[in-house]
Copies of this chain bind each other. A is one copy, B any other.
């Protein structure tokens, strides 16, 4: 059998090969940055502090990075890595959606969806950067390093702050009790920073004490 005919290929040697390679790289980088614009359309449960609407995951990620810039300064963690982790931690939601803290979820199904999302989305990048960002996201999810634990703590502290600023926010909406809040937010925040949890706990206690007075 005769070999299959190869399609005609044009062999124009580029005058500047490295320029072409860097253009390919840049094309992939810009394609990724265009794709992740969609994180701005993923709506979370948390309200903005002014209660005008719910927060989206892109602005939430910015807010968290600012939490890291402010608090990591006082902690013994690599601030730059915590910030990078928080910038990428929710990107998988573009494909997998947001998973609210108050609600029942099939954890395994959520994890599988998020892993597929991470492969597709970070995979748009040049190979070396795809591997780096995937590793960063996996480190966050695993919550084993001090940086990941600190990042996870901030990811719980931020909605806690928004809820206390908005008369209860998602707690009031979902009829979540003080004991539930302490159980769902406490361990994750305390694992990242006992000092932050000591302060956050006071905010929670004060919030529910005030809410009790209002109801009385």
Seen from chain A, the residues whose Cβ lies within 8 Å of a Cβ on chain B are 19, 22-23, 25-27, 29-30, 32-34, 36-41, 48-50, 52, 55-56, 58-59, 61-63, 65-67, 69-71, 73-74, 79-80, 83-84, 87-88, 125, 129, 133, 158, 161-162, 165, 195-196, 198-199, 203
Which of chain B's residues has its CB closest to A83's CB? B83
Given contacts A41-B48, A58-B59, contact A66 B195 (CB under 8 A): no
A203 to B26, CA, bound (A): 12
Chain B residues with CB under 8 Å of A65's CB are 62, 65, 83, 87
Contact assessment for B70 and A129 in the assembled complex, using a CB-CB cutoff below 8 Å: yes
**B63–A37 touching, CB < 8 Å:** yes
- Beyond the given pairs A30-B199, A73-B129, 6 more chain A to chain B contacts, judged by CB atoms under 8 angstroms and listed by A's residue number, are A29-B70, A34-B165, A37-B50, A65-B87, A70-B125, A83-B84
Secondary structure type dominating chain A contacts: helix
Cross-interface CB contact of A162 among B37, B49, B55, cutoff 8 Å: B37
Chain B residues near A195 (CB-CB < 8 A): 22, 26
Could you list 23 examples of A-B contacts with CB < 8 Å? Answer: A22-B74, A22-B195, A23-B199, A26-B195, A26-B196, A26-B199, A29-B70, A30-B199, A32-B70, A34-B49, A34-B165, A37-B63, A37-B165, A41-B48, A41-B50, A41-B52, A58-B62, A59-B59, A61-B62, A65-B83, A70-B129, A79-B80, A83-B87
Residues of B within 8 A of A27 (CB): 199
User: How many copies of this chain does the complex contain?
Assistant: 2
Whether A161 lies near B87 (C-beta < 8 A) is no
Query: 10 nearest interchain CB pairs?
Result: A80-B80, A62-B62, A58-B59, A37-B49, A59-B59, A40-B59, A26-B199, A58-B62, A61-B62, A29-B70
The CA of A69 and the CA of B165, in the complex, are separated in Å by 32
- A74→B37 contact, CB < 8 A: no
